Copies of this chain bind each other. A is one copy, B any other.
């Protein structure tokens, strides 16, 4: 069907090998010959067959990306950057969405290994390790992104979630808030654990108030943020500020508050994490901790590229990016007149 290098070899009278040389820009070929071959290739509409090339070179120039929820704007943005950086380095991306499900994750790992991807970037679901095990055993270079395992010696790029939690807490404390509700994600997620720890730290000084509640909305989504808040409100629980695990959850939280006639930030302050694009196009713009999505994607790709091209087995490198507090409209001073 399609034109092959052999066709070109026949057409030009050169050997297959020489044709290959022309395409791969080798030194051991005459300028004239090269020109002629490339011209003929163009005329015949030749297109490399990357499958054959991959088999011969044992390199697919393909990176597997395992993401827990492509519909979450945070991950969507990460994927966008990853795709961009990959493309720039002439790699393709095979996308696998796990919906935070360990079975789908394991399946994704298998698929990518069979596909002989050159490397993997993964946001592990962290509620099961079968997928990770497969990847580790395969020997394919990989980088954890946004989440990591303390006990797994591997490369990772994450935000400094402890610090992020701490910054969120400090911001609220400084505004006078003493009764904080944290709508967290499931504790199996590393960032959930670390943000909680950071938050607690911020309220560790005696007399400085406390984290009154931590509840878990899993998976982290608008719907869960909404449902959880609604339920708590119904229980008559009171708080002057809510920390949401991420902006997406915060959006659901604010909707629930609005429905209950509670105004943000007058009655209750809300703070999120991630700084997704949406967070500054809401009627009340969200105070949030920027999680440096672009940097994370860039770093993850840089580390992976390094491990893929490196000759020797590379030692794992971990990177924690500093978060940044973005103060907008959803947080304000605590009003003492809060009811109970």
Contact = CB atoms under 8 A, between A and B. Distances in A.
Interface in A80-107: 80, 83-84, 87, 92-97, 107
A24 B51 CA distance: 21
A263 to B, nearest CB: 10
Contact of A252 (B97, B116, B281): B281
Interface stretch (A70-78, A142-150, A151-159, A319-327): A70-78
A282 B281 contact: no
Interface in A48-62: 48-52, 54-55, 60, 62
Given A70-B83, A83-B97, A92-B111, 12 more contacts: A47-B114, A49-B114, A50-B115, A71-B76, A76-B76, A79-B95, A80-B97, A83-B96, A84-B97, A93-B94, A94-B94, A94-B95
22 contacts: A47-B110, A49-B114, A51-B51, A51-B116, A70-B70, A70-B80, A71-B77, A76-B76, A83-B96, A92-B96, A92-B111, A94-B94, A94-B95, A222-B278, A223-B277, A226-B281, A251-B281, A255-B281, A255-B285, A278-B278, A283-B283, A283-B284
